[in-house]
Chain A
Amino acid sequence: MKKAILPYFFVGPHLILFIVFILLPTIYGIYASFTQWNLMNEPNWVGLNNYKTILFNTESTFHVQFWNGLKNTLLFVLFSVPLLIVIPLLAAVALHHKRVKGKGVMQAILYVPGLISISAAALIWLLIFNKQLGITGNIFNSAVAWATTQPYAWIIIIVITVWGGLGGNLIIYRASLAGVAQDLYEAADIDGAGPFRKFFSITLPSINFPLIYTFVMTTAGAFNVFGQPLMMTDGGPQQSTHVLMMYIRSLAFGHGESIAGMASAMAVLLGVVILIISALQYYVMSRNAR
């Protein structure tokens, strides 16, 4: 009997936290997406109206906001995810080399930016890119107002994202590289394989699962982007970096009374997009890995 109950004590706390803080809010969020709700009164059930408006009513502000937000979010994913995979991978491989000294310090330097709050980091980077005070203006003589001119607005968003985000994946890659058997490389050396051949034929296949994991998780994280465009460009110029999470937040918790039902519907649709893309990524990558 004791043995039957004991495992639940270990799983229990996490399960309770998961139900209270994730499952129930998710279910309520989905319910809210079928309502008109201002967060104060009881939600008013409207069925699929919010979804119809967002997806098909081309006249509606919410339709325009959703598609513009989704387009900008997809652009952010396309720009940031490859860099957040490739740069940490290259850094990890470089740090894995025998002759590199001070690996711990280098890793710490790359990891620490991820611990800094996005607001503080954005202030620093905005000063760096400031036309009058910043390095870009004074040393590189850039005459551009970065935050309000495309494609520079995207560039500063991606720079701060990669700067803050590469440490997490780097540590995963370093841990996985440590697990790759050395005799494979020795055998390759005997066969006369060069560094590129070893990287593509030994390193990459050996860390297949960490790669799939980081790819899926980084993509899902990138879809939820919010802080970087809010702080760096405030969605500008002309809402060209206004991502979906910013619209969702301003609808639910912005000016005046909340429009939480519509915001929830947008959030559910974003969740569906993330789910489909993550599943596709996982399917394609794990099939190729076999």
Chain B
Amino acid sequence: MKKHVIQALILCVTLMTVLSACSGGSSKKTITFWTPLTGEDGAYMDQLVKDFNATNPEFKVKHVITADMYTKISTVLSTGKDVPDLAIIHADRVPGFVKQNNLEPMTAIMAQQPELKEENYIPQAWNTGNIDGVQYTVPLDIHSHTMYYNKDLLAKYGVEHWLDDNNVTVEEMLELQGKMEEGQYVVNDALLGWGMMGQIQNLNGDIQVDGKPAVDTEVFRKAYTEVKKLNDAGLMTPFGEDGFLMFQAGNVIFSTDGTWTSTAHAAVEGLNFGVTNIFSVSPDKFTNRSSSHLFAMLKNDKRTDEKEAGIGVFLEFLRENSMEWAKAGQIVASKHVIESPEYKNYMQSFFTSSEEQTKSLYIYTYEHYPYIAEAVDVYSNDIVRGNVDMDETLATMQKFVEDKIAENSGAQ
């Protein structure tokens, strides 16, 4: 019996140790840093953190990759326990977090680190974290919608001149109607929803009017009608087929995916490709719908002023030393990095090569943007493919967004 009691005690102690280890908690000299960066991005960030810790800072950084980060953030914020000291959040989350009073302003950190200022970053990446004059975030990057082109196919069809003004228009693409070889296409449908959001800007429209969502509008109708022409002309890769793969196989002239996929394309042997802006429905304007990874401090009473200063040191280190992040295919937000000659070796440097290019990186900051983006992602393919009635679907999308906003506003 005595033996059993001892065994039971050992089991209890082991369990308690394991459970307490699970609860984690940050030590006084460690900055707990949460990111949603799974896959290769996480490895690049690990390297940046390792480089920083190698400088022997007073506060070392512990990088925790959290796949379901926003769910976990809502849990820790509501309990107030194990809130990370620093996190990377996406641009479209800032208005919601600020409205809920969940973000700590960067004011004190900016006072201690004078180089953490708007002038040293791509403006729209910096400004997306500025709400009512208060700076809540410091940007790491901009990750943008991007159009890759197959150089050999452009030459084959004699349309290299489309790239001359950096604005490939729908009208230009339609010139190839009926001229494509069987099994070859002008453009694929990767990240179509992102593209549609860009077209709204190209038509000088917006997704909101006086703070109200505006989806069932003439601008959306016009944008969908124009892009649908590519499908109707048989120039878009067939519905349901892997257009990304078809581009890599050399059967599609343009692939509309993200800056981060340049590394995947580069790994394909024999794929002779370059990068340009997403095609436009307007000859006068081009837009690359973008988002941004931003450093933010969630409200946490346990974060000391000293630790906050340590976070400032880390952010300043990254401002000067985040070239590693360019390897992930991202447009680094720090001007110190993007203005250095080494950065020109990266394909995405195209997007910051001129003022006009930089301006083309558009980040939506409307409070209810995530709901609109969700509706656009869900319904765009069916509209463009002609599977559904456009007017009816736009009305459904408008209702989708309005219902979510109404339900959400009751929860404030």
Contact = CB atoms under 8 A, between A and B. Distances in A.
Do A and B make up one complex? yes
A141 interface: no
Nearest to A149: B240
Interface stretch (A161-169, A207-215, A251-259, A272-280): A251-259
Contact of A255 (B239, B240, B371, B388): B371
B204 interface: no
Contacts of B369: 256
A132 interface: yes
Contact of B77 (A40, A131, A261): A40
A135 to B, nearest CB: 15
B51 interface: no
Contacts of B399: 59, 61
A56 B374 CA distance: 25
B240 A259 contact: no
A253 B71 contact: yes
A256 B387 CA distance: 27
Interface string B392-412: 000010011001100110111
Nearest to A35: B411
| Chain A interface main SS type | loop
Contacts of B412: 38, 41
A218 interface: no
B132 interface: no
B240 A61 contact: no
A9 interface: yes
B78 A39 contact: yes
Given A36-B411, A238-B388, A41 B100 contact: yes
A133 interface: yes
Contact of A259 (B241, B373, B404): B404
B390 to A, nearest CB: 14
Interface string B359-395: 0000000001111011000100110000110000000
B240 A36 contact: no
B242 A253 contact: no
Nearest to B409: A36
Contact of B70 (A44, A60, A253, A260): A253
B388 A257 contact: no
A66 interface: no
Contact of B408 (A35, A38, A61, A237): A38
Contacts of A147: 240
Most chain B CB neighbours (cut-off 10 Å) among A44, A59, A238: A238
B5 to A, nearest CB: 10
Interface residues of A, number: 39
Contacts of B70: 253
Interface in B197-250: 238-242, 245-246, 249
Contacts of B75: 39
Interface residues of B, number: 41
Nearest to A40: B100
Nearest to A146: B240
A146 B388 CA distance: 19
A281 interface: no
Contacts of B373: 255
B239 A148 contact: yes
A133 B249 CA distance: 11
Contact of A256 (B78, B370, B396): B370
Contacts of A237: 240, 382, 387
A145 interface: yes
Contacts of B92: 256
A62 B403 contact: yes
Contacts of B263: none
Nearest to A37: B411
B261 interface: no
B134 interface: no
A130 interface: yes
Interface in A58-86: 59-62
Interface in A235-290: 236-239, 250, 253-262
A46 B75 CA distance: 22
A147 B242 CA distance: 11
B411 A131 contact: no
B9 interface: no
B402 to A, nearest CB: 8
A195 B411 CA distance: 63
B70 to A, nearest CB: 7
A76 B388 CA distance: 24
Given A40-B74, A255-B373, A256-B374, A238 B404 contact: no
A259 B245 CA distance: 36
B407 A262 contact: yes
22 contacts: A35-B411, A36-B408, A38-B411, A39-B71, A44-B410, A60-B403, A61-B396, A61-B400, A61-B403, A131-B242, A132-B245, A148-B239, A149-B240, A237-B240, A238-B382, A238-B388, A250-B374, A253-B70, A254-B374, A259-B408, A261-B411, A262-B407
Interface of A: 9, 35-41, 43-44, 46, 59-62, 130-133, 145-149, 236-239, 250, 253-262
Given A35-B411, A148-B239, A253-B68, 15 more contacts: A37-B411, A40-B77, A41-B100, A62-B403, A132-B241, A132-B245, A133-B245, A146-B240, A237-B387, A253-B70, A253-B71, A255-B373, A257-B408, A258-B74, A259-B404
